[in-house]
């Protein structure tokens, strides 16, 4: 079969909602964009543990500490799930780690912002995990089987993350004046970077058109961002918090909330490595990777010994 007919057959499967599996023929460009997106997603989960981990020893109660510990542990699991999904495309996990640790791999810009107060842990749950859910639920219907299946498990846990974040903020919203002020100050810092999580405007997105055609993406960046704004507006009212956007107002004609311009120069600055915490995050990641060397070596040695034992048993 010619490449053209293979591609036509591939697109027909995608259009008929037939999942593409690792052993199926796929265009190189499809494989490449999946490796790009899934590896960056996995890196985001791993780096995403750092801003939250910063508050585990300082959580205000045992209950809050338990919830935060569970959430950070979940993120590690999401990262491992996604690295496994990426490996089905023929890449080595070690290579992905190397790209992240040497700073040549992208991960979500949002994790390069500092967690300055306890309210930030609530804002991350409510806004960051809320945005992640908005973006990840459609990925459960992604055309690539392993990615779609990984997302089903991830989204179930993400909902808990969003709920525990919202509940932290709801508690603060009913607290002292200082706690209410801490809540508002935190939302002021996390609102706009959370909108940036959905990626550049559709007109500036070089990957979206292909991603939509191949049903990796089911909605565009702007569509998901708009859905997120519409949902958050109502939730912010329950928290008695003001979203820091004077242009945020209901547009009857559009049936959505209009919102102000996003500072894309800030976004690209952070993506390029000049965010408040980029170097701190990479340093922490490299330190953890180096300190974890013995664990990886022990796990590989154990797996090898187990393999030899099973071979001996089978012979």
Exactly one of 132, 172, 183, 243 binds ligand 3HC (CB under 6 A); that residue is 132
Find the shortest distance in angstroms from Cβ 147 to ligand 3HC: 9
CB closer to ligand 3HC out of 204 and 304? 204
Choice from 34, 41, 187, 191 touching ligand 3HC (CB under 6 A): 41
- Binding window for ligand 3HC (CB under 6 A); candidates: 34-42, 58-66, 175-183, 301-309: 34-42
User: Per-residue contact track with ligand 3HC, 215 to 254, x per CB under 6 A?
Assistant: ------x---------------------------------
First to last CA, the chain: 43
Question: Total residues contacting ligand 3HC (rule CB under 6 A)?
Answer: 29
Site string for ligand 3HC, 184-203 (x = CB under 6 A): ------------xxxxx---
- Complete DSSP assignment for the chain: --HHHHHHHHHHHHHTTPPB-TTS---HHHHHHHHHHHHHHHHHHHHHHHHHHTTGGG-SSHHHHHHHHHHHHHHHHHHHHHHHHHHTTT--HHHHHHHHHTT-S---GGGGS---SHHHHHHIIIIIHHHHHHHHTGGGG-SBHHHHHHHHHHHHHHHHHHHHHHHHHHHHHTS-HHHHHHHHHHHHHHHHHHHHTT-S-GGG-TTHHHHHHTTS-SS-HHHHHHHHHHHHHHHHHHTT---S-TT-EEETTTTEEE-----HHHHHHIIIIISSSHHHHHHHHHHHHHHTHHHHHHHHHHHHHHHHHHHHHH-
Instruction: Report if residue 120 touches ligand 3HC, rule: CB under 6 A.
Output: no
Q: Which of 64, 106, 281, 285 binds ligand 3HC (CB under 6 A)?
A: 106
Give the whole-angstrom CA distance, residue 171 versus residue 174: 5
Of the pair 10, 107, the CB lying nearest ligand 3HC is at 107
- Length of the chain equals 315
Q: CB of 284: closest distance to ligand 3HC in angstroms? A: 15
Opening angle at CA 120, ends 65 and 166, nearest 5: 75
Could you say which of 20, 30, 34, 45 contacts ligand 3HC (CB under 6 A)?
45
Site string for ligand 3HC, 270-299 (x = CB under 6 A): -x----------------------------
- Is the Cα torsion angle 198, 203, 209, 212 positive or negative in sign? positive
Binding residue (CB under 6 A) for ligand 3HC from 97, 100, 109, 281: 109
Binds ligand 3HC by CB under 6 A, chosen from 123, 162, 186, 211: 211
Least Å distance, CB 301 to ligand 3HC, is 32
Considering only 21-29, 169-177, 207-215, 226-234, which stretch makes contact with ligand 3HC by CB under 6 A? Answer: 207-215
Which residues make up the interface to ligand 3HC (CB under 6 A)? 36-37, 40-41, 44-45, 48, 75, 106, 108-109, 128-129, 132, 135, 158, 161, 196-200, 205-208, 211, 221, 271
């Amino acid at each position: 079969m010619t490449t053209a007919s293979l591609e036509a057959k591939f697109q027909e499967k995608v259009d008929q909602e037939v999942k593409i599996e690792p052993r199926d023929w796929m265009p190189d460009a499809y494989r490449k964009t999946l490796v790009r997106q899934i590896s960056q997603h996995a890196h985001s989960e791993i780096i995403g543990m750092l801003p939250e981990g910063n508050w585990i020893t300082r959580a205000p109660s045992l209950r809050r500490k338990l919830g935060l510990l569970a959430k950070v542990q979940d993120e590690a699991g999401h990262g491992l799930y996604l690295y496994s999904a990426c490996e089905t495309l023929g890449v080595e996990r070690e290579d992905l780690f190397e790209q992240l640790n040497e700073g040549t791999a992208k991960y979500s810009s949002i994790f390069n912002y500092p967690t300055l107060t306890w309210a930030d842990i609530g804002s991350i749950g409510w806004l960051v995990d809320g945005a992640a859910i908005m973006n990840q639920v459609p990925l459960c219907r992604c055309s690539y089987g392993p990615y779609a299946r990984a997302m089903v498990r991830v989204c179930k846990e993400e909902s808990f993350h969003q709920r525990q974040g919202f509940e932290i903020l709801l508690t603060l919203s009913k607290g002292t004046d200082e706690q209410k002020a801490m809540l508002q100050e935190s939302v002021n810092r996390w609102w706009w970077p959370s909108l940036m999580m959905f990626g550049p405007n559709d007109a500036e997105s070089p990957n979206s058109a292909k991603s939509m055609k191949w049903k990796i993406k089911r909605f565009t960046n702007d569509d998901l961002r708009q859905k997120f704004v519409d949902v958050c507006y109502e939730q912010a009212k329950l928290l008695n918090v003001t979203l820091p956007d004077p242009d945020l107002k209901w547009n009857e004609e559009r049936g959505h909330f209009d919102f102000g311009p996003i500072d894309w120069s800030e976004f690209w600055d952070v993506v390029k490595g000049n965010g408040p915490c980029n170097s701190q995050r990479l340093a922490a990641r490299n330190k953890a990777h180096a300190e974890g060397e013995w664990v990886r070596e022990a796990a590989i040695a154990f797996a090898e010994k187990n393999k030899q034992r099973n071979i001996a048993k089978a012979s």
